[in-house]
Amino acid sequence: MSASPLVPSAHALEMARDVLQTEAAAVQALAARLDDRFTRAVELLLLCKGRVVVSGIGKSGHIARKIAATLASTGTPAIFVHAAEAAHGDLGMITSDDVLVALSYSGEGDELLMMLPVAKREGTPLISMTGNASSSLARLADVHLDVRVDKEACPLNLAPTSSTTAMLALGDALAVACLDARGFGPDDFARSHPAGALGRRLLTYVSDVMRTGDRIPRVTIDTSLIEALREISSKQLGMTAVLDAEGRLQGIFTDGDLRRLLERATDVRNVKLADVMTRNPLTIAPGVLAAEAAQLMDQRKKNQLLVVDASGKLVGALHMHDLMAAKVI
């Protein structure tokens, strides 16, 4: 039985590699011809007092939407306006304080060209991305960015592939250049992504996840070993803090300390806690990022940490499970 023509073959892999190589070549060529027009475009975006309005239609519209999202998440307020919807009221979104970024590979899309008289009347600066430097959109722009490609990755040289990849890459370049100029850092990024993994890592502090109050296992230094073991069992952290009469941290007694003790002694009823606890235990401050606590615990091979304030007072306890529950790790 002959193979179905729909069954993937080695030819599919060959085609895939050709697509990726063609698109990579288009991006490399784009990088090689960047000039001061890119710098002027970045300046317009940085000077924008309103929002960057990114618009396009068809495949360019999909790329425009993504560019707007990337700008917004990296410190440059931006929105996407569909070029077809603009003529039906959405042009009201564009003000003189904004910057319009228009994407059209041909540079002759009717819907985009209809937006320009209104934008020009408002005094809205225009950045265009086209593959035709002689097009109407290119000529009317304050800054034109040339995204022409030698060929599309489509074997018919028809479907937007290399050209949309070039637009997307150039949009990313604009966003990252603005990010760098603004000094936009990880904390800023986290504030734009509070629900993501990075947001949790950068916005969650030890104080947010540590155990407090009666949930902290603690005994005084004159407590019997048996009572200390009861505290460890009841609080289920595998350890207890050991405090002096004034409540200052003196040490920690863990399951590991108990195992080492049992290896040395058969009768532990008269053992003094002060003699078997670990003094100067590893601690952390409540204002430290929870991600840093996780790193410290990993480096020191600890499953728990005691949390102390600036005066050395015990204020909390942290277990690796608490970090997992908070999805910090």
State the residue for tokens 């924008």. 48
Residue 190 pLDDT:
60
- Do residue 34 and residue 166 come from a single domain? yes
What does the pLDDT read at residue 218? 93
**Same domain for 158 and 39:** yes
Residue 230 CB-half CA count within 13 A:
6
Name the domain boundary from 124, 149, 184. 184
How confident is the model at residue 141, as a pLDDT?
Answer: 96
Q: Residue 44: give its domain's CATH number.
A: 3.40.50.10490
- pLDDT at residue 1, as a whole number: 46
- In a shared domain, residues 167 and 212: no
* 110/218 same-domain check: no
Q: In this structure, is residue 170 part of a structural domain?
A: yes
Q: Does residue 14 sit in the same domain as residue 138?
A: yes
> Could you tell me if residue 1 is inside a domain?
no
- Clarify whether residues 153 and 249 are in a common domain: no
Residue among 128, 110, 107 nearest 53 (CA): 128
| Same structural domain, 57 and 89 | yes
Using the 3D structure, point to which of 138, 154, 184 is the last residue of a domain: 184
Q: In this structure, is residue 320 part of a structural domain?
A: yes
pLDDT value at residue 144: 98
* pLDDT score for 3: 52
Question: For position 10, what pLDDT does the model report?
Answer: 79
Domain that holds residue 270: 206-325
**Is 77 within the bounds of a domain?**
yes
Annotate 36-65 with DSSP letters as a single string. HHHHHHHHHHHH-SS-EEEEE-HHHHHHHH
Number of neighbours of residue 118 by Cβ within 10 angstroms: 15
In order along its 329 residues, the chain shows pLDDT tens digits of: 455 566 667 788 889 999 999 999 999 999 999 999 999 999 999 999 999 999 999 999 999 999 999 999 888 999 999 988 877 767 778 889 999 999 999 999 898 998 888 888 889 999 999 999 999 999 999 999 999 999 999 888 888 999 999 999 999 999 999 999 988 776 666 666 555 555 556 678 899 999 999 999 999 988 888 888 899 999 988 899 999 888 788 899 988 888 888 887 667 777 788 888 889 898 999 999 888 888 898 899 888 899 998 888 899 999 988 888 887 77
Provide the domain count of the chain.
2
CB 287 within 8 A of CB 316: no
- Tell me, yes or no, whether 285 lies in a domain: yes
Q: Are residues 73 and 176 in the same domain?
A: yes
Does one domain contain both 99 and 172? yes
Residue 198 maps to a domain? no
Asked whether residue 157 falls in the same domain as residue 247, the answer is: no
In a domain, 297, yes or no: yes
Name the token pair of 304. 């728990």
pLDDT of residue 306: 93
CATH number at residue 269: 3.10.580.10
Residues forming beta bridges with residue 284, ordered by sequence position: 307
What is the reported pLDDT for 8? 67
Report pLDDT for 5: 61
Q: Are residues 218 and 91 in the same domain?
A: no
Q: Which of 58, 118, 117 is nearest to 82 (CA)?
A: 58
Are both 118 and 224 inside the same structural domain?
Answer: no
pLDDT of residue 197: 56
Q: Does the predicted model carry a pTM greater than 0.95?
A: no
pLDDT at 62: 96
In a domain, 191, yes or no: no
Q: Which domain-ending residue is among 154, 184, 214?
A: 184
